[in-house]
Amino acid sequence: MIRGRLKVGLCALALALVTMPLATVAQIDLSRMVDTARKTTDLGDKDQEEEQELGEQMAATLLGAAPLSTRDAEQAYVARVGHWVARHSSRPDLEWRFAVLDDDTINAFAAPAGHVFITRGLLLQLNSEAELAGVLAHEIAHVTRKHHLDAIKKAAGMEVAGGVLGMVRGRRGESRTERMVGDRVVGATRELYSRGLDRADEYEADRWAVAYMARAGYDPYAFAAVLQWLDSVATDDSQVALLFTTHPAPADRLERVAEQLTGPYAGLSGKVLDERFIRALGGDLQVDAGHGESLDPE
């Protein structure tokens, strides 16, 4: 590895020596050239580390605004569906994490590096596991397409690769200046979740959602059914206020998904699993109703 880097550096040096007039050779800073070569090869790792740090910070900030649901069966079920769909995404190897937020509004969120959230308010409006898979697939697509990652870098004015990492880390420590730039990331996170992504990103996430859920074996029309239902929710309903201000109109999203389902994806089908959905969420019903027992083990 190190040898490889050195080779790159030496090749670059050799090339420079051949192509440069003698007078400038003396001015070449050798260490700098090796540094540049190293930076290029490390970029992949650094990008991943940066995405992880940023994703954790964004997810933690979101969790500062809404608590996790304490219903275990619900959490376990949503996580299983999410992981199964994520396996069929373009980035199956991320450390995917799924959770239900104990919140009555209708919404779902993603943060870089594989963090996905759905509110309990939305979960209880769904009719089947396939619909849940569709909602989660949309968020998974935001992660795989790096929508939030790119948006946050842009918002915080840190488009240079590797620049964000130092700033996020700076928050935990060192100098006052570093902490200040770190705070900019937190500020940008709050702003991004309040304002939402670019509309084109939302449409793109819808397109990939249909692909991912269908690859995972779910009926892709279930996602269209969710959008169709959202289209019928009154726009002044406070439960959907944040969702509606941060996303394109459901009718516009449905129109595009419909084109996809009747065009290139015509004929796709899959499982709906409505009964498993009710059974899974019903597992928490026992606890909620104060029976204090879980289902017969058997």
Partner 1 sequence: MIRSLLGFILGLAIAGVVLAGASALTVTDTDLKEQPDDASLTLAELVEGTAVELGPRQGAWYEANSGSESGWLRMLNVRLSSGQQRPGDAGVRSLLQVGRTDATVTTGVRGLTVEDLKHASENRAALQSMAAMQPAPEDIDAFAADGELSPGRVDDPEPPARGRRSSR
**Touching partner 1, residues 208-237 (CB under 8 A):** 208, 210-211, 214-219, 221-222, 224-225, 228-229, 231-234
Among positions 23-82, residues that touch partner 1 (CB under 8 A) are 56-57, 59-68, 75-76, 79-81
Three-state secondary-structure class, residue 111: strand
User: Whole-number minimum distance, CB 108 to partner 1, in Å?
Assistant: 11
State how far the Cα of 229 lies from the Cα of 174, in Å rounded to an integer: 50
Decide: is 285 part of the binding site for partner 1 (CB under 8 A): yes
Among positions 128-167, residues that touch partner 1 (CB under 8 A) are 128-129
User: Judged by CB, which is closer to partner 1: 6, or 60?
Assistant: 60
Token couple for 279: 């059974």
Among positions 180-199, residues that touch partner 1 (CB under 8 A) are 186, 190-191, 193-194, 198-199
User: Judged by CB, which is closer to partner 1: 37, or 100?
Assistant: 100
Burial class (CB in 10 A: 0-12, 13-18, 19+), 2: exposed
User: Whole-number minimum distance, CB 45 to partner 1, in Å?
Assistant: 21
User: Judged by CB, which is closer to partner 1: 146, or 190?
Assistant: 190
The closest of 95, 134, 98 to 117, measured between CA atoms, is 98
Among positions 239-258, residues that touch partner 1 (CB under 8 A) are 239, 241-242, 245, 254, 256, 258
User: Judged by CB, which is closer to partner 1: 107, or 142?
Assistant: 107
Which amino acid makes up residue 151? A
**HSE of 97 in the Cβ direction (CA atoms, 13 Å)?**
13
User: Judged by CB, which is closer to partner 1: 29, or 296?
Assistant: 296
State how far the Cα of 226 lies from the Cα of 229, in Å rounded to an integer: 5
Which amino acid makes up residue 278? I
Token couple for 56: 């954790």
Decide: is 274 part of the binding site for partner 1 (CB under 8 A): yes
Decide: is 297 part of the binding site for partner 1 (CB under 8 A): no
User: Whole-number minimum distance, CB 160 to partner 1, in Å?
Assistant: 24
User: Whole-number minimum distance, CB 67 to partner 1, in Å?
Assistant: 7
Q: What is the DSSP letter of 68?
A: B
Three-state secondary-structure class, residue 263: coil
Select the span of 7-15, 19-27, 83-91, 158-166 touching partner 1 (CB under 8 A).
Answer: 83-91
State how far the Cα of 92 lies from the Cα of 123, in Å rounded to an integer: 24
User: Whole-number minimum distance, CB 147 to partner 1, in Å?
Assistant: 13
User: Judged by CB, which is closer to partner 1: 91, or 203?
Assistant: 203
DSSP characters over 268-287: ---B--HHHHHHHHHHHHHH
Q: What is the largest CA-CA distance in the chain?
A: 87
**Cα 261 versus chain centre, distance:** 24
